[in-house]
Amino acid sequence: MSKILKLIVCCMIFSCNPVNKSINKKPNVIFILVDDLGWNDLGYTGSDFYESPNIDALSLDSYEFLTAYAASSVCSPTRASIMTGKHPARVNITDWIPGVDPKNRPLLGPKDFHQLPLEETTIAEKLKASGYKTFYSGKWHLGSQGFYPEQNGFDINIGGFEKGSPIGGYYSPWKNPKLTNGPEGEYLTDRLTNESISFIENHDKSEPFVLFLSFYNVHTPIQPNIKHVDYFKNKLKSIKDNKVRTRQEGQAISVMNQVNPDYASMVYAMDENVGRLIASLKQNNLYNDALIIFTSDNGGLSTQKRIAPTSVFPLRAGKGWLYEGGVRIPQLIKPPNHSQNIKIEDVTVSYDLFPTILDYAGLTSDQIIDGKSLMPIFKDGSKLEREDVFWHFPHYHGSLWKPGSSVRSGDWKLVKLYESNKLELYNLSEDIGEMNDLSSIYPDKTKDLHNRLLNLQKETNANSVSINKNFK
């Protein structure tokens, strides 16, 4: 056989290789968002009491992000950042919707938008315009009627409306205008997953799709899952450290250990449904080629006026607070055709997911994007080029957090508290629990990080607090 003939044959074989064809194929995107899931609320993240066998199994096929952050310590701002790839301050959603600051406090928070502006281009709109079928199931919390998922690029919306919690509880009837009631007692998380599985099974396989499954779990109300709660009650009895331990956090209380069987049953029920979704993807030969993202919208609910349902110890505080417990979250990403656990220490933030998805879909954006694509990490193990990350929560919160902002630069983190005008400085590599304020020891570092914070706020047009002239 001549050299030319051999070359022609090789080219024909290569061009017919189905693996090669799949390189340019747009992957299906599965985005699983869990509400209020804490940094260590899962088995693979270190919980000894809660159990999450299905998510633990997913972690074995995924990049595991050890320093993943939510864009905010509360839900709506983070959700806005996921949808737009922008810092919450840039879209003027810095509080949960419609969070209203109390009138009897020294400061007033800025007037936020109470909906995601329709002029913002969402990830769903970008994907839909490129040929994706777009599906949304579960919690939305980014605006009322006229600003629902279907007005933001999603072809199908099951259960997404303005409320941030299941107002009818976790058992049917749900009092949700975007979700028909099931049989009395049907569990909300089961139903949302059923709808997602139905979409997967009935979808035209020739058309790429993006599926957002946004669980209401494990947000309040803390209602035990009746199938699993007895198991965790019995498990608790066998644990030596089974009495709740607490620590004072300002005027609030932080829980120091995980001992709530009701909450454990809700985590397990959520995990069970993640397992059902993954099983459906595998049964339909869609798992290997999919881009799967699993994450949370803020830290766990571990700090309140009363005993909270979970603990994120050794991190400090929890949901609503800008210490690590309020913003550090679990995050897994399984790229297409990936099947091993790789741990990543690079700092990532919720708004990184938007450009990452665009990269995998072969798309670009002409709008301002604060996030950085994580694809270089997956492609060749590159380090993520990022200097600073900042959080802006200039509002009072039911967890007893008072208005503030923070910035992380390398291992250093600055927390700015607006009521007292106090600056706190922590070295996270040595003090992940943020117990040792080093601002007086390193005044130059404190000044440097404060200037970085101010510059970032200016660059994103962050609105801040004002003096409450009526406060007495």
Average pLDDT, rounded, for the chain: 93
Q: Answer yes or no: is 328 within a domain.
A: yes
Residue-level pLDDT at 7: 40
Looking at residues 250-260, what average pLDDT do you find?
A: 97
So what's the pLDDT on residue 241? 86
Residue 19 has pLDDT above 50, yes or no: no
Question: What average pLDDT does the segment 407-428 reach?
Answer: 97
In a domain, 160, yes or no: yes
- What is the average pLDDT across 409-425? 97
Please give the pLDDT value at position 8: 40
Q: Is residue 403 part of a domain?
A: no
209-250 pLDDT per residue, tens: 999 999 999 999 999 999 999 999 999 999 988 999 999 999
Mean pLDDT calculated for residue range 344-372: 96
**Per-residue pLDDT tens over the stretch 302-343:** 999 999 999 999 999 999 999 999 999 999 999 999 999 999
Q: What is the mean pLDDT of residues 135-146?
A: 97
The confidence score (pLDDT) of residue 176 equals 96
Q: What angle do CA 188, 192, 196 make, to 5 degrees?
A: 165
- Give the model confidence (pLDDT) of 169-211 as tens digits: 999 999 999 999 999 899 999 999 999 999 999 999 889 999 9
Q: What is the pLDDT of residue 24?
A: 55
Please count the structural domains in the chain: 1
CA–CA separation, 349 vs 327, rounded Å?
9
Residue 23, pLDDT above cutoff 50: no
Express as a percent the part of the chain with pLDDT over 70. 95
Instruction: Give the domain CATH number at 112.
Output: 3.40.720.10
Of the chain, the percentage scoring pLDDT greater than 90 comes to 89
Q: What is the pLDDT of residue 472?
A: 79
454 in any annotated domain: no
Q: pLDDT per residue over 68-110, tens digit each?
A: 999 999 999 999 999 999 999 999 999 999 988 888 999 999 9
Cβ-contact 62, 332 below 8 angstroms: yes
Angle at 82 between CA 78 and CA 87, to 5 degrees: 65
Contact criterion met (CB below 8 Å) for 425 and 437: yes
Is 191:140 a contact under the CB 8 Å cutoff? no
On whether residue 394 sits in a domain, the answer given is: no
Residue 410 lies in a domain: no
Residue 252: pLDDT band with limits 50, 70, 90: very high
pTM, two decimal places: 0.93
Assess if residue 159 is contained within a domain.
yes
**Could you list the residue range(s) of the whole structural domain that residue 290 is in?**
26-383
pLDDT category, 293, cuts 50, 70, 90? very high
Q: Say what the pLDDT of residue 38 is.
A: 97
Q: Is the pLDDT of residue 373 over 60?
A: yes
Tens-digit pLDDT profile for residues 118-127: 999 999 999 9
125 φ, ψ (degrees, to nearest 5):
-65, -40
95 Ramachandran zone, left/alpha/beta (phi>0; psi -120 to 50): beta
Residue 361 lies in a domain: yes
Strand order in the sheet with 331-334: 156-158, 133-138, 209-215, 29-34, 291-296, 331-334, 63-65, 342-344
- Nearby residues of 7 by Cβ (< 8 Å), 6 or more positions away: none
